[in-house]
């Protein structure tokens, strides 16, 4: 979570394992595409920076954040991804729609992790306004896409260490 004390883009490179032999799915919401595309680009760049091969990164798009869960399930079933990064952005509106979408996506991604026994990463911004989303997709608080990619690599590193 980005705060005054934490930037989403900052990490200790020495604590991150090589992603050389890892395969990643990235499922991206088309809704709020200015935000989600910036996050997806940052996630892909980060994976490549830590050694992932371009051919081992599978990027696919879904209409909105609510569809991330099923899109992620498809990537788990139809690609050889070791981890799936879910990238979306839900901005608070005037109705309860925000609450239902955020809760559904968070629950769905958690369930997929448990069901498949592999990391499904919650790279979804849930902000009060567009400016907060911009601040967390390459602005003053860093980029959630970078954080999501680092999380995926670290979780696969943990799996590899334990197996």
pLDDT in tens, 111-153: 999 999 999 999 999 999 999 999 999 999 999 999 999 999 9
Domains and CATH numbers, the chain: 30-162 (3.40.50.960)
Average confidence (pLDDT) over 85-103: 91
CA dihedral angle for residue 27, residue 32, residue 33, residue 36, rounded to 10 degrees: -50
Cα(31)–Cα(126) distance, integer angstroms? 13
Say whether 97 is catalytic: yes
pTM of the predicted protein model: 0.94
Name the burial class of residue 32, with classes exposed (0-12), middle (13-18) and buried (19+) by CB atoms within 10 angstroms of its CB. buried
Of 11, 60, 97, 141, the catalytic one is 97
Length of the chain counted residue by residue = 163
């Amino acid at each position: 979570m980005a705060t005054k004390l934490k930037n989403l883009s900052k990490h200790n490179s020495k604590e991150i394992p090589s992603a050389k032999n890892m395969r990643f799915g990235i499922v991206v919401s088309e809704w709020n595409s200015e935000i989600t595309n910036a996050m997806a680009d940052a996630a892909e760049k980060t994976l490549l920076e830590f050694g992932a091969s371009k051919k081992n990164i599978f990027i696919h798009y879904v209409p909105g954040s609510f569809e991330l869960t099923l899109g992620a399930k498809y990537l788990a079933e139809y690609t050889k991804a070791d981890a799936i990064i879910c990238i979306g952005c839900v901005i608070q509106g005037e109705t309860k729609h925000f609450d239902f979408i955020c809760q559904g996506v968070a629950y769905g991604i958690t369930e997929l992790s448990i069901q498949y026994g592999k990391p499904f990463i919650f790279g979804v911004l849930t902000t009060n306004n567009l400016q907060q989303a911009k601040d967390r997709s390459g602005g003053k608080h860093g980029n959630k896409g970078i954080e999501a990619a680092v999380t995926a690599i670290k979780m696969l590193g943990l799996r590899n260490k334990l197996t």
